[in-house]
């Protein structure tokens, strides 16, 4: 492999990683309360947030999922969106038994004050709290409309991702139902996970480059 080939291969990987996640980005969660180290690890390893462009690009879907297998239930969801860039549209229940209502109690993310987290809107699982939350193998989607900015133009999906990655938007969750009966709070982290479509395109690009290089070697 010559230097030109390596450069092209690296460029293609970066290009597809940037473009492949244009309409869906997956975030993990970082523990902020540290009440129990084991519970903190459980939350960080099995709770995820998928943010997707929705409809005619005038809406955004926030999908909260719990991959399990350990006991844990997302019971409260908080958004710090001072601008605001979003307006609540509807709940989209991906799993039967997950039931939520607008307005969480407490009104702000527990432990969030230390991270300058100030909730502008929040959502609470209905009674019974833990069974109605997002438990292992379950998911909840919250659909938002995109607001207009100061110029009157609608925010775009890319604006939401930039706000989540760099501020001013933050998403937090309060989790209960751990085996030890404790609770923890988490904030969505800006570290993104490539979507399957992104990985497919990267793999396809690499295969094309390998095929191209072999063809050149045969000709020479």
How many other CB atoms sit within 10 Å of the CB of residue 174?
A: 25
Give CATH for domain 23-199: 2.60.40
- Residue 199's pLDDT is 43
Q: How far apart are CA 35 and CA 41, in angstroms?
A: 11
- Report field, pTM of the whole predicted structure over 0.85: no
Across the chain, which has 220 residues, the per-10-residue mean pLDDT values are: 48 42 87 97 98 92 98 98 97 94 97 95 97 98 96 95 95 97 95 47 44 48
pLDDT at 22: 60
Taking alpha carbons only, the member of 60, 78, 63, 62 closest to residue 147 is 60
**Segments of the chain assigned E as strands:** 24-31, 47-54, 59-66, 73-80, 86-93, 100-102, 121-125, 138-146, 170-176, 184-193
Cα 1 from Cα 21, distance rounded (Å): 29
- Find the DSSP H helices in 59-156: 129-132
């Amino acid at each position: 492999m010559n230097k030109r080939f390596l450069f092209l291969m690296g460029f293609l990987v970066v290009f597809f990683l940037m473009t492949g996640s244009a309409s869906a980005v997956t975030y993990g969660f970082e523990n902020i309360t540290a009440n129990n180290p084991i519970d903190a690890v459980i939350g960080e390893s099995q709770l995820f947030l998928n943010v997707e462009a929705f409809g005619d690009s005038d809406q955004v879907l926030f999908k909260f999922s719990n991959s399990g297998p350990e006991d844990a239930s997302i019971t409260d969801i908080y958004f710090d969106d001072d601008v605001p860039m979003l307006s609540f549209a509807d709940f989209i229940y991906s799993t039967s038994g997950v039931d939520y209502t607008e307005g969480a109690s407490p009104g702000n993310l527990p432990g969030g004050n230390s991270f300058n987290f100030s909730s502008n809107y929040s959502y609470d699982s209905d009674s019974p709290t833990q069974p109605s939350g997002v438990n292992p193998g379950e998911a909840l989607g919250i659909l938002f409309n995109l607001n207009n900015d100061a110029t009157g133009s609608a925010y775009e999906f890319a604006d939401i991702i930039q706000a989540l990655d760099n501020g001013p938007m933050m998403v937090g969750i309060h989790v209960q139902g751990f085996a030890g009966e404790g609770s923890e709070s988490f904030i969505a982290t800006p570290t993104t996970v490539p979507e399957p479509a992104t990985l497919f395109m990267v793999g396809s690009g690499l295969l094309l480059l390998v095929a191209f290089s072999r063809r050149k070697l045969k000709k020479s």
